[in-house]
Structure 1
Amino acid sequence: MSKVKYYYDTETLSYRKIEPKKGKAFGIVILYVLSVMLVSVALLITYLSIPDLETPKEKAYKRELQHMELQFESLNRKMNQVTEVLHNLEDRDDNIYRVYFGANPISKEQRKAGFGGVNRYQSLEGYNNSALIIESAKRMDELTKRIVVHSKSLDEIYEMAKNKEDKLASIPAVQPVKNEELTRMASGYGMRIHPIYGHRRMHNGMDFSAPVGTLVYATGNAKVKQAKTSGAFGKLIILDHGYGIETYYAHLDGFNVRAGQEVVRGEHIGYVGDTGRSTAPHLHYEVRRNGHAVNPINYYYNDLTSEEYDLMMNRALQENQSLD
């Protein structure tokens, strides 16, 4: 409690109580408020001028954005893998199954057609990472559409295949040498170093390295077109599978079939050898469609697991030296 002060009034010859002035008190309050405001503004300016200073909420948002970017990068890597697998399936679909059953290949434009009309991604615009999000959304939509197109194509092929079991049985769909009897898959289809000439030449088949005498099998139902020695191929068997498809089995050590004979998929037809223009014991295997060599790797769907197929694909893509 504040002390009460008095003063002596000479006119009334008495002591009078000193009353505080209201204007002065109001001024003190105003001065105090202004001082607080000035100090606050000064502190705010100082806070904002500190470089790279972030509030806890800003730090949390930043961590969330970084996590989101990592998730989108991971998603894009997975979509790359899916795209590669889908491309391989589409290639088989267009160049093997649809051709085999007399259906026209599906054009790339039809498989990869975009979406017309309004901007489907307008709601994703206006953010710091809009480009990343929109690109991922576009790729996902494209993959979805390609999968739908491929699924419909398989449905169409299934309907055509119901009455064409003989064609399915004739497709060269297995390896000519069993995995457990292979030394290695020496060389694949494509440009390879020729073992004799020493420069890159087109290698029209696949070389399966195995000991002399290893059993060789027919890769599909067929009729033996040829079983005899044939120049650089050495001892050669040619199987006619019908529908424009033939398979070649070269550098054999011997035959187990004769010309004109009917064989079925998996039947023993010959033996791995080292005859003709060969530099080591192996089987040179080709698939020809309408007289043109095609990559045999596309036909091993009947007896390989996905892991075995991936391993063979990686080996076949290596540009090493062929054995013939």
Structure 2
Amino acid sequence: MGKVKYYFDTESLAYRKIKPKKGRNLGFAALFLLASALFGFLCFFVLSNSKYFETPKDKIQARQIENLKLNYTILNQKINELDEVLANVQERDKNIYKVYFNATLSKIEKDSINSKITFKELLKLNNEQIIEKTNGRVSQISEELANQSKSLDEILNLAKKKEKFLSSIPAIQPVKNEHLKHMASGFGYRSDPFTKARKMHKGMDFTSPTGTPVYATGDGVVRRADAGASGFGNHIVITHGFGYETLYAHLSRYNCRPGKRVKRGDVIGFVGSTGRSQAPHLHYEVHKGGKVANPINFYYGDISAVEYTAIAKLATQENQSLD
């Protein structure tokens, strides 16, 4: 109990007890309640923010966040691996373009940006930003892969065109010419066998017995196989594409018909002496862009450099042609 206090009453000349005031007691009570409430709030704040007092919902959310970080780390690692694979493919693609096709890469491939996000940067982002960044990287790689696929398609088309071009060039001799024994007359001015006048000989003559096989010198389509042209007798014209045509004249018979597609090395006819011809032989011409060309410049598919030098020397000798 509290100490009892007295005061001296001058009227009654006696000591009387001092009664405590009600307002003061109420003030103490209010102060006590306020302190108790503040203490309770601080305890609640501390406990609610402690991992030892997490609610089940808080624990589920925490696990979801950790799983999200882990999944993103794995996803980002896979994206980086795809980046490396894509970079290797682009490097090989660039080398193929440069070395084999003398072509350059497109601007899209040159401007391709390899933007990556690290785990440290990940910690600074919220969930929406993480999703946005991830979608951005996936979209970028998808676009680059689409561009790379288009680039590889272009390479394939270039390869097909180049392969077709190389196979279409008249690159072999039209008859078997072992030891170069069948070269009779070359391209250029020669003496006419009938008039003895000097005139332009627009092809090469190969002497061979009647019935010797004649070969297509490049891939193409037979445009004509008849005896309609003056002086050529039975002859064949093959259109090779890319501006090339070849003529095979004075044949004894045909082994093809107009419209037939032939390959280099196919037997298309046989040597003869039809038309304006002095003896069995094959008259062979090459046309490029509508103009006659010297066939000697195209014999790189079946002879060596030494043989080419020898046949070129024979072809320059001005003699009498056979037609």
Q: What's the TM-score once normalised by structure 1's chain length?
A: 0.50
Q: What's the TM-score once normalised by structure 2's chain length?
A: 0.50
